[in-house]
């Protein structure tokens, strides 16, 4: 495997888009606890191969597509360097697209935490696919995401092309199918929010304060209900003086 | 102003959402059935009845850790005590004496005495640790005063009146001797019998008074492995054992001083022959614990061969040979004991007869005929309730327990008084099927369904169906007339039989097909709860897993509806199919495919064959696919569709989720793989969406009149994991949303400091899950909602292969003040009605929680826009309001699952909660907006309409006259 990789390194590289992605940690305020994970890791980084397969008979035969350069640490960053497609590959990709075959990619199962890489090198690969026709029609522009679990272990890979649809459009220019235009990112798990009790209590307190400060609310009993008292008094007087109570009622309204 | 409005809006919502039942609605749409489970011990109340108490009781203790009292006249439950599930509440033994029932619970953890009339607890004692072996009532001088509990290394004696311990003694050499039986003949001694397998028997006699060891003997018995299975005590304290190897009986007098050897009696000398490979079984009886057992006993020599024997002076004499005989038992009333024997009569019936124990003579006029259900199991136990008639002859009633957990109570000469289907205490899965149309409706449908063949036959067909309709109408009229003449009391309107089953106007009445753990299937009418059919699958393993699919509904007359039950052995993974008609329960004659390999996954496709049956795909462990039905038509369709049929497999032991695509030759290819390392987290559940779910609205209108479109991916899977690290600071629950076609991880969230069990619902564009927060020590709900944004990528069709943009994910969590047992969402016909979550609580209540409260867009601060959208301001705590309990006071014990089904009315959702009990009701999440109220004033509206009609007529007339007059002028 190492031999094969070095052969790729000899061929010329096309450095594609580099994306930095942070360990997604939002929602929670008190998340300083994770710092111990990345304290003592070396930042030398390491690389893993990215392989692809597209065959007319749909039996996967994976070949190298490029190398993923990973920089371990608290914020794992990734960059991808890939080789161009050869003439033969381009034709095969078109043939596969014509029969609505699949374009598959795979990466080995590794841990992205550089310090754990040696201890947790599990066998096996993670695979994903798109329809070959959409790869052709998007002119090799795709988005690859590497998904990790809480411990930084690679659990899944996904690939989508932009645009994703197959309209049956012919790709005339061979140049369009030479180099990949890839956006790559690492996506870690999101911290699900816990019930927001603190902020709710804060807000309730604010409201209480507002209520307390509001001068309207602090009026005396008589100031607040003078019209009711007046109305009641008028009503009482009206009824005691044996007059029709309609006048009192009008007064009250 | 906003602060004032805030509580107001909440109040308004709560006011709107309260949907309790009125008192006069109780039992109108809902019913509950209570069960006790598989009966292990049953006793009839033997106490002589006082004249004013004429209700007889039956005490049962079951495998579901339930102790209950049944009314032996109706089979109803008088009272029921539901203990903890699992070994902690396991009922080890039940002893009944007079009004007291003594129960040992939890492998000898607790000793309880219950008062049998009202089910009150007399007393409870915590016993010393040690695994329970046996218990017996002990009598002294004709009075039963104590209960002895034998544990692995100790014996204790307790007062029957208050449970206090009289004495406890350690058993000698308990590390080598297995003490298994305790016996007392009422003469001041308690015998504890133990065995050293294949060596000797140990007999220890204790004094009842102070627990002193009076005597300890050991007797050679190199052939014996277990006392319990091969020995009984008969007559005046004689231990009687049977050896299946040498085919002989051994006797040992327990009281005698010098006995060091058992007395062997070869069965051959008694002219008895044991069926080959059968372990002979002895059955004796001790009618009164204060007196020695009877000297008569049964010996079972074969599966259907028993013999009644008598021991006298160390000699055994056969009294009567019963061949064939299925079951035997003893019954006592007063001082008379009889033997009851069940003998097969023919293929479908058995007869039970009584025999005297002293001579084996048959008692006259004591035959009870028991008709076996052809769809049921064989009888496995017989309980006899004997009583003395006025003329001093013995009368009796029989309760028969069968393999399929049915209890049948019979009177002489074979009248079935009641039956209880205890298999329903353990429902595994269920479906609701629409009822068929009535015969006449079906006839009309059939006319259109048949192919046209010429003008004349069509006319004839039409005439014949019209004639059938006329006939049915006349029959109906005749029935009305006939019923009107009968007194009102005789008319039983609610009677539901399989013949009268038909769909009602709004499809509110359905057939509930229930699959129970024992392998018995039931068809229950959802309106009344009547069991309309039952079918026992005889060769189902006890650990089998079931999956029920509806392949063809009732909508395709004249093809009958068709359900398929996949029965899978959990150990071997081998599966078999049972195809049946869900309305009548009859097994279908359709040939089922042989499944020689373990089945990993099943897939019900929307494809239908020429007979309108949906295609079921079964994937075996070599990833080969079997189609059922597999006609040419189906295979052809599958070939055409193959490249768009995807399925997924889950291997939770390795944390592997993998996706496959079907090939034209019905083989499969692996197309994606996601591996969640099993060392860190374990996949506990994977759920897709329900196939029959409709979403009416594609998006939500927001406050600013823009639309937020929902991400409605029908292939989305919600995967829930739990961390292997259970430390309360580090444990977490993982939620993955994965596209089942492409394997793309749409969302990945981690709920930190959380622990299972996780209950979750996945529907529409949301996932709701409940977990235990280890830090705050409380239950919490969390809701995830997925939105595409304000623009739809492709509004006409959804394809997992062409959705490049990940959805927006919103999430919010809430505190829930109770733990929960199960979670389900309501489902309606068109999905217009707002959704509620149905939460089964451990208290037995079912809470209907509006989804509105679980909305991640609930704002922290109230704004004009959020008010426009009717969003409730965020509050961390979720309320539980008692009006939301849909089952008011009808507690559903140990609720394990809730099933929801849409009805013909958009507002109405049918709900069945099952567990130990079964509860059926209807819920109206948005109130009954499409139904007129019961008290709707028809008179007023019709008189107004009529009035208006006449007014227009008159005014029209007047206008005409006026016009005419004007024309003349």
Give CA separation, B813 vs A32, B321, B677, B858, in Å: 21, 72, 27, 11
Residues 733-762 of B with CB under 8 A from A: 734-735, 738, 742-745, 747-752
A192/chain B closest Cα distance in angstroms: 5
Model pLDDT for residues B526-545, shown as the tens digit of each residue: 988 999 999 999 888 888 88
pLDDT at A42: 44
Please report how the helices B2-17 and A197-213 are oriented relative to each other, as an axis angle in degrees rounded to 10: 120
Verify that B552 and B625 share a domain, yes or no: no
Q: Each residue of B926-943: pLDDT tens digit?
A: 988 888 887 888 999 999
Contacts of B803 in chain A (CB under 8 A): 160, 164
According to DSSP, residue B444 is labeled H
Q: Which residue of A has its CA nearest to B802?
A: A164
Q: Output the furthest CA–CA distance in chain B (Å, rounded).
A: 141
3-state secondary structure chain A: CHHHHHHHHHCCCEEEEEEECCCCCCCCCCCHHHHHHHCCCCCCCEEEEEEEECCCCCCCCCEEEEEEEEECCCCCEEEEEECCCCHHHHHHHHHHHHCCCEEEEEEECCECCHHHCCCCCCCCEEEEEEEHHHHHHCCCEEEEEEEECCCCEEEEEEEEECCCCCCCCCCCCHHHHCCCEEEEEEECCEECCCCCHHHHHHHHHHHHHHHHHCHHHHCCHHHHHHHHHHHHHHHHHHHHCCCCCHHHHHHHC
B521 has pLDDT over 70: yes
Tell me which of B801, B810, B853, B857 to substitute to probe the interface with A (most A C-beta atoms closer than 10 Å): B801
Q: Do B605 and B627 belong to one domain? A: yes
* Residues B434 and B414 placed together within one structural domain of the fold: no
B711 touches chain A (CB under 8 A): no
**Does residue B820 belong to any structural domain of this protein?**
no
For residues B53-82, give the mean pLDDT.
88
> pLDDT by residue (tens digit) across B809-833?
999 999 999 999 999 999 999 999 9
Contacts of A194 in chain B (CB under 8 A): 751, 773, 776, 780, 813
- 8 A C-beta contact, residue B304 and residue B321: no
Residues B341 and B390 in one domain: yes
Pairing status of strand B745-752 against strand A190-191:
parallel
- Quick check: B275 pLDDT over 60? yes
Assess whether pLDDT exceeds 80 at residue B450.
no
Contact in structure between B436 and B557 (CB atoms under 8 Å): yes
Statement to judge: residues B516 and B416 lie in one domain:
no
Q: Residue A17 and residue A14: Cα distance in Å, rounded?
A: 10
Q: What is the mean pLDDT of residues A113-125?
A: 63
Q: pLDDT value at position A31?
A: 37
CB contact under 8 A, B802 and A187: no
Per-residue CA distances from B313 to A128, B238, B253 (Å) = 85, 10, 11
Boundary residue ending a domain (B527, B558, B592): B592
Angstrom distance (rounded) from CA B437 to CA B501: 8
Give the highest mean pLDDT range of A177-181, B236-240, B941-945. B941-945
B381 and B517 fall within a common domain: no
Chain A partners within 8 Å of B801 (Cβ): 130-131, 134, 164
CB contact at 8 A, B265 and B241: no
CB distance B512 to B527 below 8 Å: no
Q: What pLDDT does A39 receive?
A: 38
- Regarding whether B622 and B563 lie in a shared domain, the answer is no
Give the per-residue pLDDT at B446.
63
Distance, in Å, from the CA atom of B523 to the CA atom of B534, rounded to the nearest integer, reads 6
Average of per-residue pLDDT values in chain B: 87
A162 vs B671: CB contact, 8 Å cut-off? no
Total CB pairs under 8 A between chain A and B: 137
Phi, psi of B610 (to 5 degrees): -70, -15
Residue B653 lies in a domain: yes
pLDDT bucket at B47, cuts 50 / 70 / 90: low
Residues in chain B: 969
Report whether pLDDT(A183) > 50. yes
Q: Inform me whether the C-beta atom of residue B223 falls under 8 Å from chain A C-beta atoms.
A: no
Alpha carbons B962 and B966: distance in angstroms, whole number:
6
Strands B822-825 vs B732-739: parallel, antiparallel or unpaired? unpaired
Identify any residues that bridge with B77 across adjacent strands, giving them in sequence order.
B70
- pLDDT at residue B5, as a whole number: 45
Are B767 and A192 contacting, i.e. CB atoms less than 8 angstroms apart? no
Q: HSE-up of B638 (CA within 13 Å, CB side)?
A: 28
- The answer to whether the peptide bond before residue B413 is cis (omega within 30 degrees of 0) is yes
**Residue B288 included in any domain:** no
CB contact under 8 A, B673 and A125: yes
Binary contact (A134, B802; C-beta < 8 A): yes
Whether A202 contacts A37, CB under 8 Å: no
User: With pLDDT > 70 as the criterion, what percentage of chain B qualifies?
Assistant: 93
Residue B544 falls inside a structural domain: yes
B584 located within any domain: yes
Give yes or no: residues B436 and B534 share one domain: yes
Asked if A124's CB is within 8 angstroms of B675's CB, the reply is: yes
Predicted confidence (pLDDT) per residue in B854-889, tens digit: 999 999 888 888 888 889 999 999 989 988 999 888
Locus of tokens 């009567």: B320
CB contact under 8 A, A100 and B643: yes
pLDDT tier, A249 (very low <50, low <70, confident <90, very high otherwise): very low
Kindly report, residue by residue over A14-67, the tens digit of the pLDDT.
333 333 333 333 333 333 333 333 333 444 577 888 999 988 888 888 988 888
For residue B501, give both structure tokens: 């089953």
Q: How far is A152 from chain B (nearest CA, A)?
A: 11
User: What DSSP string describes B543-564?
Assistant: TEEEEEEEEE-TTSTTSPPEEE
Residues of B in contact with A30 (CB under 8 A): none
Res A6: pLDDT: 36
Most confident region among A78-87, A175-184, B683-692 by mean pLDDT? B683-692
Residues B188, B828: Cα–Cα separation, whole Å = 70
Higher confidence at residue B383 or residue B488? B383
pLDDT of B92 reads 92
Give the pLDDT score at B278. Answer: 86
**Which positions ≥6 away from A81 have C-beta within 8 Å?**
A13, A14, A15, A16, A66, A67, A69
What is the C-alpha to C-alpha distance for residues B966 and B863, in angstroms, rounded to an integer? Answer: 65
For residue A93, name the pLDDT band (cuts at 50, 70, 90).
confident
**A123, β-bridge pairs:** none
Alpha helices in B196-319, H assignment, sequence order: 227-230
> How many angstroms away from the CA of B8 is the closest CA of chain A?
14
Cβ <8 Å between B749 and A151:
no
Q: Is B731 on the interface with A (CB under 8 A)?
A: no
Using the beta-carbon criterion (under 8 Å), do A195 and B681 form an inter-chain contact?
no
Q: How confident is the model at residue B409 (pLDDT cuts 50, 70, 90)?
A: very high
Backbone angles phi, psi at B478, to 5 degrees: -60, -40
Q: Tell me whether strands B121-126 and B110-115 are parallel, antiparallel or unpaired.
A: antiparallel
DSSP 8-state class, residue B466 = H
Q: Residue B443 has what pLDDT? A: 63
pLDDT at B114 over 90: yes
B404 shares a domain with B371: yes
Please state, as a whole number, how many other Cβ atoms lie within 10 Å of the Cβ of residue A199: 13
Name, in order, each residue with C-beta under 8 angstroms of B574's C-beta and a sequence gap of 6 or more. Answer: B568, B595, B596, B597, B598, B599
Between CA B165 and CA B850 the distance in angstroms is 54
- Mark which residues 792-851 of B lie under 8 Å from A by CB: 794, 801-804, 809, 811-815
The answer to the question of residue B554 being in a domain is: yes
Closest-approach residue (CA) in chain A for B859: A200
Angstroms from A50 CA to nearest CA on chain B: 15
Tokens of B44: 């009839």
Same domain, B612 and B585: no
Q: Which residue has the higher pLDDT, A89 or B453?
A: A89
SS (H, E, C) B808-869: EEEEEEEEECCCCCEEEECCCCCCCCCCEEEEECCCCCEEEEEHHHCCCCCCCCCCHHHHHC
Is B325 part of the contact surface with chain A (CB cutoff 8 Å)?
A: no
Rounded CA-CA distance B116/B98 in Å is 9
For residues B500 and B319, the model is more confident at B319
pLDDT of A86 higher than 70: yes
Q: Which residues of B567-577 are buried (b: 16+ CB within 10 A; e: fewer)?
A: bbbeeeeebbb
Geometric angle at alpha carbon B630, from B624 and B632, rounded to 5°: 115
Residue B804: which of A104, A150, A161 has the nearest Cβ?
Answer: A161
The DSSP code for B592 is: P
Mean pLDDT of B364-378: 86
pLDDT at residue B266, rounded to an integer? 87
Last residue of a domain, one of B390, B423, B456: B423
Q: What is the mean pLDDT of residues B348-372?
A: 88
- How does pLDDT run across B694-731, given as a tens digit for each residue? 898 889 998 888 999 999 999 999 999 999 988 888 89
Report pLDDT for B8.
45
In chain A the first and final C-alpha atoms are separated, in Å, by 92
The fraction of chain B above a pLDDT of 90, given in percent, is 43
The whole domain housing B53 covers 24-126
Instruction: Count the domains in chain B.
Output: 5
Cα(B521)–Cα(B518) distance, integer angstroms = 9
Residue of chain B whose alpha carbon sits nearest to that of A150: B750
Mutate to test the interface with A, among B677, B773, B788, B794 (most CBs of A within 10 A): B677
Q: Are B362 and B354 a contacting pair, CB within 8 Å? A: yes
* pLDDT confidence tier of residue B671, bands split at 50, 70 and 90: very high
**Residue pLDDT, tens place only, A192-224:** 999 988 888 988 898 888 887 765 555 677 777
Q: What is the ipTM of this complex?
A: 0.78
Q: Which one of B745, B804, B860 has the shortest CB-CB distance to A156?
A: B745
Which of A209-234 are b and which e, b meaning 16 or more Cβ less than 10 Å from the residue's Cβ? eeeeeeeeeeeeeeeeeeeeeebeeb
Same domain, B93 and B60: yes
Res. B14: pLDDT tops 50 = no
DSSP symbols for B16-64:
HH--PPPGGGTTTS-EEE----SEEEEEE--SPPPTT----EEEEEETT
- 3-class DSSP state for residue B360? coil
Residue with tokens 């509860």: B919
- In this prediction, residue A74 carries a pLDDT of 64
Residues found in chain A: 253
- pLDDT for the residue numbered B441: 66
Residue B29's CATH number: 2.40.10.480
pLDDT in tens, B204-223: 999 988 888 888 888 888 88
The answer to whether residue B782 scores a pLDDT higher than 90 is yes
**B524 shares a domain with B638:** no
Using omega within 30 degrees of 0 as the cis cutoff, is the peptide bond preceding B420 cis? no
Q: Do A211 and B3 touch (CB under 8 A)?
A: yes
């Amino acid at each position: 495997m190492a031999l094969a990789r070095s052969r790729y390194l000899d061929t010329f590289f096309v450095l594609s888009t580099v994306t930095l992605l942070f360990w997604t940690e939002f929602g929670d305020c008190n998340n300083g606890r994770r710092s111990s994970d990345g304290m003592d890791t070396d930042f030398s980084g390491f690389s893993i191969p990215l392989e692809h397969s597209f065959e007319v008979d749909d039996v996967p035969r994976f070949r190298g597509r490029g190398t993923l350069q990973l920089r371990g640490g608290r914020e794992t960053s990734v960059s991808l360097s890939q080789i161009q497609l050869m003439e033969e590959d381009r034709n095969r990709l078109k043939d596969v697209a014509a029969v609505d075959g699949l374009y598959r990619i795979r990466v080995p199962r590794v841990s992205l935490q550089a310090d754990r890489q040696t201890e947790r090198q599990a066998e096996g690969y993670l695979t994903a696919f798109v329809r070959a026709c959409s790869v052709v029609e998007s002119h090799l522009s795709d988005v690859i995401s590497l998904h990790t679990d809480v411990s930084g272990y690679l659990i899944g890979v996904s690939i989508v092309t932009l645009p994703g649809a197959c309209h049956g459009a012919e790709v005339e220019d061979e140049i369009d199918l030479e180099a990949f235009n890839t956006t790559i990112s690492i996506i870690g798990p999101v911290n699900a929010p816990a019930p927001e009790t603190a902020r709710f209590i804060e807000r309730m307190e604010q409201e209480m304060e507002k209520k307390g400060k509001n001068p309207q609310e602090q009026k005396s009993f008589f100031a607040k209900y003078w019209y009711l008292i007046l109305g009641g008094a008028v009503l009482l007087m009206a009824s005691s003086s044996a007059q029709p109570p309609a006048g009192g009622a009008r007064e009250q309204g | 102003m906003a602060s004032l409005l805030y509580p107001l809006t909440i109040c308004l919502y709560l006011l709107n959402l309260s949907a309790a039942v009125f008192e006069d609605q109780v039992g109108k749409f809902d019913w509950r059935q209570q069960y006790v489970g598989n009966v292990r011990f049953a006793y009839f109340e033997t106490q002589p009845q006082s004249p004013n108490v004429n209700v007889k009781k039956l005490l049962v203790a079951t495998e579901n850790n339930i102790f209950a009292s049944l009314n032996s006249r109706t089979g109803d439950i008088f009272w029921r005590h539901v203990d903890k599930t699992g070994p902690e509440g396991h009922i080890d033994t039940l002893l009944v004496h007079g009004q007291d029932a003594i129960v040992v619970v939890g492998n000898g953890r607790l000793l309880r005495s219950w008062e049998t009339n009202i089910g009150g607890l007399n007393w409870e004692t915590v016993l010393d640790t040690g695994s329970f072996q046996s218990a017996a009532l002990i009598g002294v001088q004709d009075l039963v005063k104590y209960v002895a509990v034998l544990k692995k290394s100790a014996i204790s004696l307790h007062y029957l009146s208050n449970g206090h311990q009289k004495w406890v003694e350690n058993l000698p050499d308990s590390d080598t001797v297995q003490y298994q039986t305790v016996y007392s003949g009422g003469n001041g001694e308690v015998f504890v019998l133990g065995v050293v397998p294949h060596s000797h028997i140990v007999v220890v006699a204790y004094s009842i008074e102070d627990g002193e060891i009076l005597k300890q003997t050991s007797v050679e018995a190199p052939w014996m492995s277990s006392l319990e299975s091969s020995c009984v005590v008969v007559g005046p304290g004689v231990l009687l054992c049977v050896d299946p190897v040498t085919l002989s009986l051994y006797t040992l007098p327990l009281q005698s001083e010098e006995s060091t050897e058992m007395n062997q009696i070869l069965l051959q000398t008694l002219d008895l022959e044991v069926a080959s490979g059968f372990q002979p079984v002895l059955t004796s009886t001790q009618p009164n614990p204060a007196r020695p057992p009877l000297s008569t006993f049964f010996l079972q020599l074969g599966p259907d061969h028993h013999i009644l024997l008598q021991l006298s002076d160390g000699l055994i004499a056969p009294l009567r040979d019963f061949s064939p005989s299925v079951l035997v038992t003893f019954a006592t009333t007063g001082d008379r004991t009889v033997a009851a024997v069940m003998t097969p009569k023919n293929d479908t019936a058995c007869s039970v007869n009584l025999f005297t124990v002293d001579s084996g003579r048959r008692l006259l006029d004591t035959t009870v005929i028991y008709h076996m259900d052809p769809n049921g199991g064989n009888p496995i136990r017989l309980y006899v309730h004997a009583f003395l008639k006025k003329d001093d002859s013995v009368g009796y009633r029989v309760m028969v327990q069968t393999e399929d957990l049915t209890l049948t109570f019979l009177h002489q000469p074979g009248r079935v008084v009641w039956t209880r289907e205890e298999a329903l205490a353990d429902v595994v899965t269920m479906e609701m099927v629409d009822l068929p149309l009535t015969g006449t409706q079906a006839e009309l449908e059939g006319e259109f369904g048949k192919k046209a063949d010429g003008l004349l036959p069509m006319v004839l067909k039409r005439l014949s169906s019209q004639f059938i309709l006329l006939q049915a109408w006349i029959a109906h009229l005749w029935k009305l007339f006939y019923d009107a003449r009968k007194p009102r009391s005789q008319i039983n309107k609610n009677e539901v039989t399989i013949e009268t089953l038909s769909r009602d106007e709004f499809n509110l009445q359905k057939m509930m097909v229930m699959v129970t753990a024992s392998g018995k299937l039931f068809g229950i009418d959802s309106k009344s709860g009547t069991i309309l059919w039952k079918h026992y699958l005889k060769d189902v393993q006890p650990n089998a897993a079931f999956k029920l699919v509806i392949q063809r509904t009732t909508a395709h007359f004249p093809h009958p509806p068709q359900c398929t039950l996949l029965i899978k052995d959990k150990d071997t993974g081998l599966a078999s199919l049972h195809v049946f008609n869900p309305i009548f329960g009859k097994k279908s004659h359709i040939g089922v495919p042989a499944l020689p390999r373990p089945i990993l996954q099943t897939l019900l496709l929307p494809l239908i064959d020429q007979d309108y049956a949906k295609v079921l795909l079964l994937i075996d462990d070599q990833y080969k696919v079997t189609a059922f039905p597999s006609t040419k038509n189906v295979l052809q369709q599958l070939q055409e569709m193959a490249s768009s049929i995807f399925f997924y497999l889950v291997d939770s032991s390795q944390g592997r989720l993998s996706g496959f695509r079907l090939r034209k030759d019905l083989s499969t290819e692996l197309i994606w793989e996601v591996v969640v390392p099993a060392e860190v987290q374990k996949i506990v559940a994977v759920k897709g969406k329900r196939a029959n779910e409709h979403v009416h609205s594609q998006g939500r209108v927001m406050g600013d009149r823009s639309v937020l479109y929902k991400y409605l991916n029908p292939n989305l899977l919600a995967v829930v994991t739990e961390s292997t690290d259970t430390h309360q600071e580090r444990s977490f629950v993982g939620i993955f949303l994965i596209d089942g076609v492409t394997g793309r991880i749409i969302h990945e969230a981690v709920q930190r400091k959380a622990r299972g069990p996780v209950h979750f619902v996945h529907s529409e564009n949301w996932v709701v899950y409940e977990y235990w927060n280890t830090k705050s020590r409380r239950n919490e709900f969390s809701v995830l909602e997925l939105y595409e944004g304000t623009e739809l990528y492709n509004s006409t069709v959804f394809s997992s292969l062409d959705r490049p943009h990940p959805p927006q994910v919103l999430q919010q969590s809430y505190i829930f003040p109770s733990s929960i047992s199960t979670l389900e969402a309501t489902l309606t016909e068109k999905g217009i009605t707002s959704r509620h979550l149905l939460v089964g609580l451990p208290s037995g209540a079912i809470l209907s929680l509006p989804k509105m409260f679980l909305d991640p867009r609930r704002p922290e601060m109230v704004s004009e826009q959020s008010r426009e959208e009717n969003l409730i301001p965020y509050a961390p705590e979720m309320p539980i309001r008692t009006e939301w309990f849909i089952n008011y006071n009808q507690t559903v014990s140990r609720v394990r699952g809730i099933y929801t089904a849409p009805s013909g009315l958009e507002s109405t959702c049918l709900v069945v909660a099952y567990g130990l009990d079964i509860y059926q009701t209807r819920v109206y999440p948005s109130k009954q907006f499409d139904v007129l109220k019961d008290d709707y004033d028809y008179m007023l509206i019709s008189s107004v309409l009529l009035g208006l009609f006449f007014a227009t007529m008159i005014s029209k007339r007047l206008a005409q006259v006026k016009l005419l007059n004007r024309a003349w002028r």
